[in-house]
Amino acid sequence: MAEVQLPQLGESVTEGVITAWLVEVGDSVEKDQPIVEISTDKVDTEIPSPVAGTVQELKAGVDDTVEVGAVIAVIGEGDANDAADKDADNEGAADEDNEGAEDEAEPAPEPKEPTAPEPTAAAPQVADGGGGVLMSPLVRKLLREAGIGPDQVEGTGLGGRITREDAERAIASGGEHAKGSGVADQPAAAAAERTATPPPAVQAVAGTRERPLPAPTQIDFGGEREVTQDLTRVRKAIAKAMMHSMQTTAQLTAAVEVDMTAIMNLRSALKDDFKARQGVSLSPLPFVCRAVTMTLPRHPTVNSSMDLEAGTATFHRYINLGLAVDTERGLLVPNIKDAQDLTVAALAHQIADVATRTRSKGITPDELSGATFTVTNTGSVGTLFDTPILNPPEVAILAACAIEKRPVVVSDAYGDSIAIRWMTYLCMSYDHRMLDGADAARFLQDLKWVLENHDFLDELGL
């Protein structure tokens, strides 16, 4: 038997709330398979199983608050019912652990000769031999009520687990998102269908952008004029952090306009080759982040923190680069440790990794603390100008805004002319207690020069 304890999730984290069990008593699990979702003041994360075996007991329920180190589950060999029988013999009483369980909780199947399965709406969550489907009880219920089998859904979670988003996408499409049916192409096809017959005013404008996707948060009003919901733990934490930032720092924003034409042309020429060789997309963000890590060492005040009560300032020789990530739970800011040592290609990998793990609840609390400077890519959703809020104790945060083609005045040996260039605004909010306006301006001008003049080709690994 192996006891699953709530692990240390960060230096300042002492407890967590169980938000969902991903397994049930009797389920077979593999080592490192996520078995429970835990919510803390810093992050929502999944806890993996330390061993392979069968879930014998769940010692805490959903919404229970558990201390770090507390036993939350027991995993062992054999059927959970066998363990219950042994407990009954030893204690002289029947095991009541599974009393009241709904039809969704099924014991692990005994090994037997392969036979055609009987029609049923509820399939076991995990099947032995690696051929089963991983999903949470909530996801299983959604699929069962929709009459869609797990084998019809492409799981995009860790280890092929079917997430709630996978289930909802399959339900919305009437079960057409079957494995091998080109799931990855479905959003593009849907977008093409939506814009197949645009309004006449749109048809007349070549190259018009697609209409932005709806907000990720949808509210079911149920026919009422208004609805009141409890704030999530993450939203409460964000609200407190933002208020603390505004009330304890002296914030203002400075901005520069940057010509990104050279970078955009380089990206356009090499992005396909980069994707083929590196396995990740080459967006403009890694270039901006690399320019930041090249510029910060020349402006140590921008990469610092201050303690006004102690009367001290700490200057960091290293750069832990924070990245604002938009998730369905709210904005989270993981950071890339020692980003000053990474090339554009390495940053592209790291950015994709932390963004994916943050959205899939795979990021750790330690990765959400310790940043020295943050970049928020609001331009990815079309923002032209931004005034981001600081993430104390950092003294600066940079917003990378939308990159757009604009007519600008270009001066060369032949005089002034009008040219079409890829332009963007870089907006930096900073703590005026630590940085003066001239400090911020010098940093932004230096950053602008790097982006417009540095040759990034050698950093792409091509």
Whole-Å CA distances, 383 to 283, 333, 338, 386:
16, 19, 28, 7
Q: Output the CATH code of domain 1-87+103-119.
A: 2.40.50.100
Q: Would you tell me how many other CB atoms lie within 10 Å of the CB of residue 177?
A: 20
Domain boundaries, the chain: 1-87+103-119, 133-184, 250-459
Share of the chain above pLDDT 90, in %: 41
Residue 73 in tokens: 């589950």
How many residues are given for the chain? 462
For residues 59 and 366, give the distance between their C-alpha atoms in angstroms, rounded to a whole number.
26
Q: Is domain 250-459 given the CATH code 3.30.420.10 in the classification?
A: no
Q: Name the average pLDDT for the chain.
A: 79
87-99 pLDDT, tens per residue? 444 444 444 444 4
Most confident stretch, 29-43, 120-134, 146-160, 388-402: 388-402
Query: Which residues does residue 36 pair with via DSSP β-bridges, in sequence order?
Result: 21, 47
The architecture (CATH level 2) of 133-184 comes to Irregular (4.10)
Whole-Å CA distances, 390 to 288, 292, 325, 351, 393:
19, 16, 15, 20, 8
pLDDT at residue number 183 = 37
β-pair type (321-323, 373-376): parallel
For residues 459 and 344, give the distance between their C-alpha atoms in angstroms, rounded to a whole number.
6
Residue 273 in tokens: 């080759």
Check if the beta carbon of residue 110 is closer than 8 Å to that of residue 128.
no
* Confidence bin at 109 (pLDDT 50/70/90): very low
217-249 pLDDT, tens per residue? 678 888 889 999 888 888 888 898 899 999 999
Helices (H), 411-458: 437-453
Q: In the predicted model, what is the mean pLDDT of residues 400-413? A: 91
Catalytic residue set: 432, 436
* Confidence bin at 125 (pLDDT 50/70/90): very low
Residue 397 in tokens: 């945060």
CA 236 to chain centre: 18
pLDDT at residue number 78 = 63
Which of these, 419, 416, 397, lies nearest to 408 by C-alpha position?
Answer: 419
Q: In the predicted model, what is the mean pLDDT of residues 371-382? A: 92
pLDDT at residue number 175 = 60
Q: Which residues contact 49 (CB under 8 A, 6 or more apart)?
A: 4, 29, 30, 31, 32, 33, 34, 35, 75
Share of the chain above pLDDT 70, in %: 76
For residues 94 and 86, give the distance between their C-alpha atoms in angstroms, rounded to a whole number.
9
Tracing tokens 């091509």 back to the chain, one arrives at: 462
Establish whether domains 1-87+103-119 and 133-184 are of one fold. Answer: no
Which of these, 423, 419, 422, 424, lies nearest to 407 by C-alpha position?
Answer: 419
For residues 81 and 90, give the distance between their C-alpha atoms in angstroms, rounded to a whole number.
14
